[in-house]
Amino acid sequence: MPFRPFPDFLLISQAAAAGFTVVRLLHFRMWRRFSFLYSYLAVTAVYDAALSVLSERSRPYLRIYLVGEAAIMVAAALAVREMYTLIFRDYPGLRTAGRWALYTALALSFTASLLMARAFWRDVDPRARGLFYELALERSVDIGLAVIILILMLFLSRYPLRLDRNTVVASAFFSTIFLAQAAVKLIDSASPRLIARYADYPEVGFTAICLLGWGMLLQPSDTPAPIRPAANKLRETELLQQLESINHILSRSGRR
Indicate whether 240 belongs to any domain: no
- The domain total for the chain is 1
d(CA 116, CA 58): 28
Indicate whether 103 belongs to any domain: yes
Indicate whether 34 belongs to any domain: yes
* pLDDT 10s digits, 24-65: 999 999 988 999 999 999 999 999 999 999 988 888 888 898
Domain range for 200? 9-220
What confidence score (pLDDT) does residue 54 get? 92
Percent residues over pLDDT 70 in the chain = 83
* pLDDT 10s digits, 106-122: 888 778 767 766 655 55
Indicate whether 23 belongs to any domain: yes
- Burial of residue 140 (CB within 10 Å: 0-12, 13-18, 19+) is buried
d(CA 91, CA 96): 9
Indicate whether 253 belongs to any domain: no
CA dist 96 → 88, 143, 195, 246 (Å): 9, 21, 37, 12
Indicate whether 228 belongs to any domain: no
Q: Do residues 142 and 185 touch, judged by C-beta distance below 8 A?
A: yes
The pTM assigned to this predicted structure is: 0.86
What confidence score (pLDDT) does residue 90 get? 84
Indicate whether 28 belongs to any domain: yes
Indicate whether 211 belongs to any domain: yes
Considering the chain, what is the average pLDDT of its residues?
83
